[in-house]
Amino acid sequence: MIPLFKYGIIEDIKTVRRIRAGRFWGVDVFVTSMKWLGPFVFLGFHLLLNLLNTQLALNERLYLALIFVIAVEMTTACHALGHILSGKLVHSAMDELLITSTRDVNLYHGDQSRVPGHVHLARALGGPVLNLIAAGVFILLAPSVAEGFPSDLLASLIATNLFFGIGSFFPIPTVDGEVIWREILRAARKP
């Protein structure tokens, strides 16, 4: 299999081997056989971004990259939880959560054209909204964190949750924003 990196996904989700990870709140959870690549992708990404910061020693770069990887994994889980919660609230949760090496994919079976627009909108909003709420909670907690708690992790959690939350509103194919804006524009066009 040749990696695609189409829409931020390395794997071809139609052909990649899926490993059943269980069920969460009625949603089947699968992990691709290439999930193990994810931490290395994000570690490399962070190291690449920090190349211009000449004030950091190699051990500091590695530490911050590791903190970033942990924050990305936690933020991704928060995003998926938001989608599951919002799907449950509108009685139309995803059928599968596919955890790939770089991002999670919500899979819905059946004819989705019969699903009302407000349901599509609610399901799409769940992930980004929960990320923005998490970022807000972490911002509020920041001044009162206990001594010894890694402030770098807290800062990274704030940044990644803000990035996921705000970034998910961009109308990019396969990203929540595509569905959000499609449904908002459809509703606006109705008489």
pLDDT 10s digits, 167-183:
999 998 888 999 999 99
Q: What is d(CA 92, CA 86) in angstroms, rounded to the nearest whole number? A: 8
Q: Which of 11-20, 71-80, 108-117 has the highest mean pLDDT?
A: 71-80
Q: In terms of DSSP H, where are the helices of 90-175?
A: 117-141, 151-167
Is the Cβ–Cβ distance between 30 and 20 less than 8 Å?
yes
**Would you say the C-alpha torsion 57, 62, 68, 70 has a positive or negative sign?**
negative
- Which pLDDT band holds residue 147 (cuts at 50, 70, 90)? low
- For residue 15, pLDDT beyond 70: yes
More confident residue, 151 or 75: 75
Say what the pLDDT of residue 27 is.
92
Q: What is the pLDDT of residue 2?
A: 42
Going by pLDDT thresholds of 50, 70 and 90, the confidence category of residue 146 is: low
For 60, half-sphere exposure in the C-beta direction (CA atoms, 13 angstrom radius) is 7
Question: Within 10 Å of residue 100's Cβ, how many Cβ atoms?
Answer: 23
Is the pLDDT confidence value at 148 over 70? no
Element (H, E) at 29: strand 27-32
Q: Is the pLDDT of residue 1 over 50?
A: no
pLDDT of residue 31: 93
Entry pTM: 0.88
Contact, 177 vs 170, CB < 8 A?
yes
pLDDT value for 185: 92
Summary mean pLDDT of the chain: 88
